[in-house]
């Protein structure tokens, strides 16, 4: 099954839910049921691309700015649009000539945006910098920083800006010190790679990405690596050094997931979120489907099982600890992303549906034990089936601010324009 066919099949499915979706910010109110979190959902725009917030494995689509504001960026057919939320509400900013925007703010408050730009019938990754701190309305003329690939970026504690590019032939990164120029590319992995995610914490850089198997068009494994010297050397989480570049098919890299080939009941594994908690432990979310052509669940005479699940992993001193974000046997969980509050509790926005339904709604779950167990899923929307559109691609601010979990998402809209949503869940 081709990747696009799989996604259209897996994401064309529904949600039973208990809370109604607020239609617009000005017309809506905070809503909740007993023992459920209050939430707020606003349609911010209607010009999103089908993949408006995709991919967003470590964020890069919505961020909390250093002056108390919020910025998000999403793709439209004409380019990438930036929005900013301040004391007076949302204002629309620049339209940049790129796709798949990835956002980072530096210590001085300048916004950096990366994305694919078409140049003379080819695509290249360009980097644009805001003209003033906190501003989304005006940017410089931009510069080419990398060849065509999937992007991630992160800011080091010393102010260094890192760019990671994963493509169908190699995976590498470049760095730019404050006031300097971009370095040459430093190779990390060989072979088809996809969907990088990077988080800097102290002198450490945590990195995840997927392998890509072009034959069956499958994501093939979720991999983790880290550097504890600002990118000079890289290793596995158990301390084993890596000789770079590493072929992800060689077995040298640290593989977090099963695959269609290795078994374990997991196929089409897709990394969704990377978070490093207050204690310095990395957390990873990834989805998986069942291997194609192999009976599972009721079809094999066993218990019923979901078609798509999201797994959570936390790296402790003695290894990775797994858990399922949703344990209901008749509910599919697909896209999901993580945040942490000031007390160390984890929170996740997730798209979900009953396994036999047609479309995904939005839901929320939390963990008070660092991801060992998760609360029952709280539905946030109930209108996906009525709209005949799945909510998709949630992107999240990874640190809860003022007791509010902030996120953005869009609809899986095919060739039609997609609504763009901004939401908050009160978690304090």
**CB-based burial label for 59 (10 Å; 0-12, 13-18, 19+):** buried
76 with 48: CB under 8 angstroms?
yes
Tell me phi and psi for residue 129, to 5 degrees: -120, 135
Poorest-pLDDT segment among 55-64, 127-136, 393-402: 55-64
Asked if the model's pLDDT at residue 5 lies above 50, the reply is: no
pTM, entire model: 0.90
Tokens read off for 282: 């990395």
Q: How confident is the model at residue 357 (pLDDT cuts 50, 70, 90)?
A: very high
Contact of 314 with 367, CB cutoff 8 Å: no
The per-residue pLDDT of the chain, averaged, comes to 89
Cα 243 from chain centre: 28
- CATH number belonging to the domain at 3-426, selected among 3.30.300.180, 1.10.3720.10, 1.20.1730.10, 2.130.10.150: 2.130.10.150
Instruction: For residue range 186-207, list pLDDT tens digits in order.
Output: 999 998 999 999 999 999 999 9
In the chain, domain spans: 3-426
Using DSSP, state whether 168 is helix, strand or coil: coil
Q: Which one is predicted more confidently, 243 or 10?
A: 243
Work out whether the CA dihedral 345, 393, 139, 86 comes out positive or negative: negative
pLDDT of residue 302: 73
Among 117-121, 174-178, 298-302, 408-412, where is mean pLDDT lowest?
A: 298-302
Report the pLDDT averaged over residues 34-49: 88
Q: What percentage of the chain has pLDDT greater than the value 70? A: 89
22: pLDDT confidence band, cut at 50, 70 and 90?
Answer: very low
What pLDDT score was predicted for residue 33? 46
d(C-alpha 352, C-alpha 336), whole Å? 9
Asked whether the predicted pLDDT for residue 37 surpasses 60, the reply is: yes
Query: What is the mean predicted confidence (pLDDT) over 119-133?
Result: 93
* Predicted local distance difference test score (pLDDT) of residue 100: 94
Which residue is it, tokens 């990398």?
Answer: 146
Mean pLDDT of all residues in 161-180: 91
Q: Is 270 helix (H, G, I), strand (E, B) or coil?
A: strand
How far is C-alpha 395 from the geometric centre of its chain's CA atoms?
6
pLDDT for position 296: 67
26-35, 125-134, 349-358: lowest mean pLDDT where?
Answer: 26-35
Task: Choose the weakest-confidence range: 13-17, 75-79, 271-275, 319-323.
Answer: 13-17
DSSP class of residue 380 equals: -
């Amino acid at each position: 099954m081709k990747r696009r066919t799989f996604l259209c099949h897996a994401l064309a499915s529904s949600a039973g839910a208990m809370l109604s979706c607020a239609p617009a910010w000005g017309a809506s109110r905070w809503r909740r049921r007993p023992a459920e979190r209050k939430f707020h959902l606003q349609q911010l725009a209607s010009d999103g691309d089908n993949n408006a917030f995709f991919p967003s494995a470590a964020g890069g689509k919505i961020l909390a700015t250093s002056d108390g504001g919020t910025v998000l960026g999403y793709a439209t057919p004409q380019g990438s649009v930036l929005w900013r939320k301040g004391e007076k509400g949302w204002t629309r900013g620049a339209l940049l000539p790129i796709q798949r925007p990835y956002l980072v703010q530096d210590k001085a408050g300048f916004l950096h945006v990366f994305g694919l730009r078409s140049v003379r019938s080819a695509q290249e990754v360009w980097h644009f910098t805001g003209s003033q701190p906190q501003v989304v309305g005006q940017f410089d003329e931009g510069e080419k920083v990398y060849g065509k690939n999937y992007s991630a970026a992160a800011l080091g504690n010393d102010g260094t800006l890192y760019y990671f590019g994963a493509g169908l032939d190699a995976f590498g990164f470049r760095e730019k010190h404050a006031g300097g120029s971009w370095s040459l590319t430093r190779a990390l992995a060989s072979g088809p790679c996809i969907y990088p995610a990077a988080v800097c914490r102290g002198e450490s850089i945590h990195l995840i990405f997927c392998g890509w198997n072009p034959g069956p068009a499958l994501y093939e494994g979720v991999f983790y690596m880290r550097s504890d010297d600002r990118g000079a050397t890289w290793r596995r989480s158990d301390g084993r050094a890596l000789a770079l570049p590493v072929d992800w098919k060689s077995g040298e890299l640290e593989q977090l997931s099963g695959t269609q080939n290795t078994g374990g009941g997991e196929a089409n594994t897709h990394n969704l979120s990377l978070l490093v908690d207050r204690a310095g432990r990395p957390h990873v979310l990834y989805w998986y489907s069942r291997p194609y052509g192999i009976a599972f669940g009721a079809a094999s005479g066993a218990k019923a099982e979901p078609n798509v699940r999201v797994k959570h992993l936390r790296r402790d001193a003695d290894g990775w600890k797994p858990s399922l974000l949703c344990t209901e046997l008749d509910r599919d969980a697909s896209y999901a992303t993580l945040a942490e509050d000031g007390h160390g509790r984890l929170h996740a926005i997730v798209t979900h549906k009953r396994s036999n339904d047609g479309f995904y709604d939005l839901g929320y779950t939390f963990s008070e034990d660092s991801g060992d167990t998760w609360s029952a899923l709280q539905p946030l929307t109930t209108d996906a089936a009525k709209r005949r559109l799945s909510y998709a691609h949630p992107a999240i601010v990874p640190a809860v601010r003022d007791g509010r979990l902030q996120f953005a998402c869009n609809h899986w809209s095919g060739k039609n324009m997609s609504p763009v949503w901004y939401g908050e869940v009160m978690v304090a």
